[in-house]
Amino acid sequence: MSDLAEPDYLDRPGRPRLAYRHVRGAGPTIVFLPGYMSDMAGGKATALFDWAASEGRACLLLDYAGCGLSDGLFAEQTLPDWRGDVLDLIDAVVEGPVVIVGSSMGGWLMLLTALALARRDGAVRVAGLVGIAAAPDFTDWGFSPEEKAIILAEGALREDTPYGDQPYVTTRGFFQSGEANRLLETEIPLTCPVRLLHGQDDGDVPPGISLRLATALASEDVQVTLVKGGDHRLSRDTDIALLIATVARLTEEAH
């Protein structure tokens, strides 16, 4: 990120303090939601923030509780907790409509946040959604029966990951919260434009998940882009250029 200043923080009585970065500008505000055990320092988040700042567009980055620079213990968080973090920050710093960009698990939170905003503020609050290897319902399809049994019996599953030094930890609390918030088996009542980007070589989230999501969404304006040679991270220069171009078109159409 070109701006390496310390992030801002949102203090919340009785709940973890949240780290965020926000640049004001033309709306709708772009809100980036990172993936599981990820944070706002990732390449896609920083590239999007720098582009928004250079183009005079409003953008919000954030770290969920227990992640990155935010307070809290990762193992104590659930999917609704992180959705609450996103809503709290939107309420605190964002005026007007939002375009929510969600990466991997952030794509699940993108949908849950959009549903909450639509119920509370009306459909016009969510101007658009952009999923990057969106992973709704991954507690259902992302674990083998044996792994699910370990999570429920032992309280957590620890897995090595190529994306960092620390193992992925899935707690029983998070797993159960995910199972209680599955979306793909019924219609998802969101009517805003949706763009779904997915690498054809994604070894973590099958590209078919984006196709299932496109089918489940009520919106009639849904486009799925499969990226040849793209992996789960979609962080090559060409992938990031595609992301920025996709977000730029969506925000321009909604402005």
For the question of residue 104 being annotated catalytic, the response is yes
Q: Could you give the residue ranges of the DSSP H alpha helices within 94-158?
A: 105-121, 138-141, 145-154
Look at the alpha carbons of 90, 95, 96, 102 in this order and tell me if their dihedral is positive or negative. negative
DSSP 24: -
- Burial (CB count within 10 angstroms: exposed 0-12, middle 13-18, buried 19+), residue 191: middle
Instruction: Report whether the peptide linkage leading into residue 28 is cis, meaning its omega lies within 30 degrees of zero.
Output: yes
Q: Could you give the residue ranges of the DSSP H alpha helices within 131-231?
A: 138-141, 145-154, 172-179, 208-216
In the set 63, 204, 210, 232, the catalytic residue is: 232
Sheet containing 57-62: order of strands: 8-12, 15-23, 57-62, 26-33, 98-103, 126-132, 194-199, 222-227
Phi and psi at residue 60, to the nearest 5°? -130, 125
Is 52 in contact with 40 (CB distance < 8 Å)?
no
Closest CA to 163 of 233, 114, 99: 233
In the set 63, 81, 202, 204, the catalytic residue is: 202
Using CA atoms, how far residue 124 sits from 174, 188, 207, in Å, is 30, 16, 29
For the question of residue 38 being annotated catalytic, the response is no
For the question of residue 144 being annotated catalytic, the response is no
In the set 104, 137, 177, 204, the catalytic residue is: 104
Active site residues: 104, 202, 232
